[in-house]
Amino acid sequence: MRLSLALPLAAIALSSLASAAQVAQTPPMGWNSWNYFAERVDDKGVRAAADQIVSTGMRDAGYIYVNIDDTWEGERDASGVLHTNPKFPDMKALADYVHSKGLKIGIYSSPGPKTCAGYAGSLGHEEQDAKMYAEWGIDYLKYDLCSFIPEVMEKQAPHDEAGQMRLMHAAYDKMGKALKATGRPIVYSLCQYGWDSPWEWAPALGGNAWRTTGDIEAKWQSVYDLLSQQAGLASYAGPGHWNDPDMLEVGNGELTLAENRAHFSMWAMVAAPLLAGNDLTQMKPEVKAILTNRDVIAIDQDSLGKQAERTYADGEVEVWTRHLSGGALAVAVLNVGSDRVATHPFHLSLAKLGLHGVQKGKDLWTGKNIELADNMPIELGNHDVLLVRIAQPK
């Protein structure tokens, strides 16, 4: 059962919105260590990622944040100050290095006593940790619920869902206030798996992004399941606050080239943060080409901030549309069929998209001009996508 304790949007504090407006006016773009490196992340690897973001052209394409996920934490001293572990000998020096590349740096913690990997969390040290992040020069915080569930929610409010949700809200609010008090613009990313519809209440707590789903895996079914959960959430996204279906798996696992292309396209359509999660030092040219496709990135980063809607589905094909600045329209035709090899004939209904007559646009993966006509046949490989930008829809 979902329990909503959200405040009406009209009651959101103006100060919270002003704080959020300092960052994430478009969905954050960057790289996160977890999907590929997990607990193997270290200072050297983060520096290498920063170097690669620059040398591959990713920085110039918009990837700015270099985010350290879990397992950087050491122990707290007698004063409660959290020290890094030996993998990260000097976090301030690392932040300075990342900044010297024209990039920003992110970090990870939890409102519980422990992180997901069992390292020190921020429970009871929120203001202290936020101040430390600001002193280091941190620009992004991923705040992951994890041990807050058994250690606080279940202990303090057993069998009381409403009480548990109030505790969760309060924990995220406490860190949000602590970050704001530092005076440093820091992207605040809530990672609590979509519990209690965070899109309804996270903006009031200073959240710039919130997870709408569980964790992603480098498998097509996971990618598609998380995409499907974005349907119906478009009205909650906009400049400064974004729905987050989790980080990108482009270039990871056994995803095919078509699946990587579709994954990236649809994250752009739903205005998701674009946080690459692959090994940038071993990135294949075809993966780089996907991650640095400027036309697709422009969809994600469109200044209007409108998230795509799933307009209609026909069998194993779905059609999503996204309104863009200047009156343009992005149309994604996605084949979600279960057979990776077969192709799927499909006839596009422009009428269902509210369009009339031949539509002239650009195929964002081939770079070629294209005309869309009502009932025209479109043949796509399974798990592939046709992504078209129509400058002047009619």
Name the CA dihedral angle for 198, 199, 205, 211, rounded to a multiple of 10 degrees. Answer: 60
Same domain, 314 and 293: no
Same domain, 101 and 20: yes
Same domain, 224 and 346: no
What backbone phi and psi angles, to 5 degrees, belong to 43?
Answer: -55, -45
CATH number, domain at 129?
Answer: 3.20.20.70
Residue 26 scores a pLDDT above 80: yes
Q: If residue 377 lies in a helix (H) or strand (E), which one and from where to where?
A: strand 376-381
> Rounded mean pLDDT of the chain?
93
* Selection from 226, 220, 231, 277 nearest residue 31 by Cα: 277
pLDDT bucket at 337, cuts 50 / 70 / 90:
confident
Give the Cα separation of 340 and 342 in Å (integer).
Answer: 6
Same domain, 205 and 69: yes
Same domain, 165 and 245: yes
Give the Cα separation of 135 and 92 in Å (integer).
Answer: 8
What are the tens digits of pLDDT across the range 98-132?
Answer: 999 999 999 999 999 999 999 999 999 999 999 99
Last residue of a domain, one of 232, 267, 300: 300
Catalytic: which of 215, 225, 295, 374? Answer: 215
Q: Are the CB atoms for 82 and 129 separated by under 8 Å?
A: yes
Give the Cα separation of 38 and 243 in Å (integer).
Answer: 23
CATH number, domain at 374?
Answer: 2.60.40.1180
Share of the chain above pLDDT 90, in %: 91
Q: How many domains does the chain have?
A: 2
What are the tens digits of pLDDT across the range 51-73?
Answer: 999 999 999 999 999 999 999 99
Last residue of a domain, one of 300, 328, 357: 300
What are the tens digits of pLDDT across the range 262-279?
Answer: 999 999 999 999 999 999
Same domain, 151 and 110: yes
Amino acid at 4: S
Give the Cα separation of 100 and 155 in Å (integer).
Answer: 45
3 state SS of 9: helix
Between residues 343 and 149, the one the model is more confident about: 149
Give the Cα separation of 292 and 295 in Å (integer).
Answer: 9
- Does residue 199 fall inside a structural domain? yes
Q: What does the pLDDT read at residue 15?
A: 40
Amino acid at 181: A
- Does residue 57 fall inside a structural domain? yes
- Does residue 275 fall inside a structural domain? yes
Amino acid at 8: P
Residue 14 scores a pLDDT above 90: no
Catalytic: which of 69, 70, 139, 144? Answer: 144
Q: Are the CB atoms for 308 and 270 separated by under 8 Å?
A: yes
- Does residue 2 fall inside a structural domain? no
Give the Cα separation of 242 and 25 in Å (integer).
Answer: 9
- Does residue 4 fall inside a structural domain? no
Same domain, 268 and 318: no
Same domain, 33 and 177: yes
Q: What does the pLDDT read at residue 22?
A: 84
Same domain, 96 and 191: yes
Q: What does the pLDDT read at residue 339?
A: 65
Single pTM value for the model? 0.93
Q: If residue 320 lies in a helix (H) or strand (E), which one and from where to where?
A: strand 317-323
DSSP 8-state assignment for residue 152: I
| Catalytic annotation present for 225 | no
Q: What does the pLDDT read at residue 11?
A: 36
Q: What does the pLDDT read at residue 195?
A: 95
- Does residue 358 fall inside a structural domain? yes
| Catalytic annotation present for 215 | yes
What are the tens digits of pLDDT across the range 171-209?
Answer: 999 999 999 999 999 999 999 999 999 999 999 999 999
Same domain, 321 and 373: yes
Q: Which range of residues forms the domain containing residue 365?
A: 309-390
Give the Cα separation of 363 and 384 in Å (integer).
Answer: 13
- Does residue 138 fall inside a structural domain? yes
Same domain, 139 and 194: yes
DSSP 8-state assignment for residue 55: H
Six token digits for residue 21: 């407006």
Last residue of a domain, one of 246, 269, 300: 300
